[in-house]
Amino acid sequence: MEQIFLSKYARKIFFIITGVLFILLLLIRLMLMPKISLYLNQEYVIIFNTILDALLSTGVSTVIIASLAFWLTPRVVKESQMDIIEPKEIKGYLEKARDTDEYWFAGGTGRFTRSKTIPKLATDARFSNFSKKIVLILINPDNDTVCSNYVNYRNRVRSGIKKNWDLKKIKMEIFATVVSAYSWKREQPLLDLTIGLINHYSMFRIDLSTKLLVITKEDTSEPALMCEKETFFFKSYLEDLRLSLSQSQILNVNVEGIPFNELNGEKIRKFIISLGLDISILDDADFNDIAELVKKGENPYGY
């Protein structure tokens, strides 16, 4: 029961189902039983009525007690809890998170962030005439050991089947996210961008805005975790992100991004070099592929 109430989606479904069952039992007790009692032995009628009365009273009492226990739980306890998000709920929470003035992301290559989050914040900055801050913490593409370990991890998990991840592909995805972020900053100067490259990876992706925190994994069929702003874990994860950023390699924000209508392999090659990143593993065709990744902006998860 506690796990049901922790998830807003599960809580909603629970109350809908219990409400329907309560109405159904009530209709049977008050409308159906009086009619069929004319054709049944009175002993059976008494038994059926007793069972229905017991189900109604027990069910209602259980729901009321459980609801009161949940809503009367001290605030300090609730603030130390995280909600479990069903896979179908993740999209809605991430959309809610993107309606913000500040956004932090920490993960692997930032493919989803590249396709959804950065464009949304950049567009909002333009139409609101207010700056939007976005901080990206990605795997350091210059660290071959970390990238190779991440490749092995991605190829082992269920979502990596048939994807054929390799060292070059991981680096290209990271470069595509970096190029895209700088291009959006070039297009929308009110976008306050910071990118940090870290020398480790995690199986979790963290999306944190001024409203809420969402923690997901690579597999879209798996649940996620969420907590609202001002809660204990929200503050803790924000502080942890700040610590991660302080230990990362911060890219030079003064390097000018490439306008989207001028993206091509050669300009991307020069841009990545200007950031001081190693491109020795890539050839000319790879830079053209990075340009296509940036232009397409495909959403890999369907959120």
- The span from the CA of 76 to the CA of 230, in Å, is 11
Question: Hey, CA dihedral for 218, 220, 225, 228, is it positive or negative?
Answer: positive
Degrees to nearest 5, angle at CA 92 with 98 and 115: 50
Q: Which is nearest to 211 in space by CA: 230, 184, 232, 195?
A: 230
* Ordered mean pLDDT values, 10 residues apiece, the chain (303 residues): 59 82 86 81 82 83 74 56 87 93 95 94 92 96 96 82 84 97 95 96 94 91 90 93 96 95 96 96 95 86 58
Looking at 1.10.10.10, 3.40.50.300, 3.20.10.10, 3.30.870.10, the CATH number of the domain 83-296 comes to 3.30.870.10
Please give the biggest Cα pair distance in the chain.
Answer: 90
Helix (H, G, I), strand (E, B) or coil at 128: helix
269 by Cβ neighbours in 10 Å (0-12 / 13-18 / 19+) ranks as buried
pLDDT value, residue 57: 84
Both tokens of 95, joined, read 């959309």
pLDDT value, residue 32: 83
- The span from the CA of 202 to the CA of 237, in Å, is 14
pLDDT value, residue 169: 94
List all residues 6 or more positions away from 116 whose beta carbon is below 8 Å from its beta carbon: 94, 98, 299, 303
- The span from the CA of 125 to the CA of 114, in Å, is 16
pLDDT value, residue 241: 97
In contact, 225 and 83? CB cutoff 8 Å:
yes
Pairing of strands 204-209, 212-217: antiparallel
Both tokens of 142, joined, read 């210059």
pLDDT value, residue 3: 53
Domain ranges (residues) in the chain? 2-73, 83-296
